[in-house]
Amino acid sequence: MNEERIAVITGASAGIGAATAVALSAAGFQTVIGARREDKLAGIVASTGGRYHRLDVTDPASVADFVASLDRVDVLINNAGGALGLDRIQDAPEDQWQRMWELNFMSTVRMTKALLPSLVDSGNAQIINIGSVAGFETYAGGGGYAGVKHALRALTRTLRLELLGQPVRITEISPGLVETEFSMVRFDQDEDKAKAVYQGMTPLTADDIAQAIVWVASRPAHVNIDEMVIRPRDQATATQVFRGGQD
């Protein structure tokens, strides 16, 4: 049955999204990937055999155009998102915090709202939202990002209640430290700051999360994995990290 299922992945030009496209394709899913960097998408599709379409999840017109390109969808993976800065509330750059709401929260609302009729019609659908351990914890400097990830978790749980009885499974996967472009984006391309996040420990890889997504998406139709929290062995909380291992 997997070979007949079509999976849509947002934020798929790199990191977890790109790894998920590769892993799902290898597992027999047809993939349709979206992001703003079309050159990156084209390279991924060249190896996976899927399809791509430019997508800016913060732009309602772009979302509508992306959705219009689809014939049907069975799995929606709301992966687009990210953190911007590590500012305390008293110094909050409101434009960046608003941008995080658009990237992490409203993007999920838009994509889910736009594709929900097609998902229900598929008869065996799934929505997988990529959250974060920041959706369970707070930390100094994380008010903006933790705020939107807490909201995303509430949205996911609400969706589970609202779709009860419909043929749609709802899952949130919440990773801890994953070495991708995440920290480069958070620290405005400051390579030293980004590398320091993972220094002395072994972080997760994008493929670690992609394999978890494949497992969740491959469960029988009656099995709903409500949520998964995945951290490196070296990470106990958002801020408690053992750094006595890898250099």
Q: Which residues are catalytic?
A: 145
Distances (CA, A) of 222 to 29, 167, 237: 19, 9, 32
Provide DSSP, the chain: -GGG-EEEEES-SSHHHHHHHHHHHHTT-EEEEEES-HHHHHHHHHHH--EEEE--TT-HHHHHHHHHT-S--SEEEE----------GGG--HHHHHHHIIIIIIHHHHHHHHHHHHHHHHSSEEEEEE--GGGT---TT-HHHHHHHHHHHHHHHHHHHHTTTSSEEEEEEEES-B-SSHHHHHTTT-HHHHHHHHTTS--B-HHHHHHHHHHHHTS-TT----EEEE--TTBSSSS-B--SS--
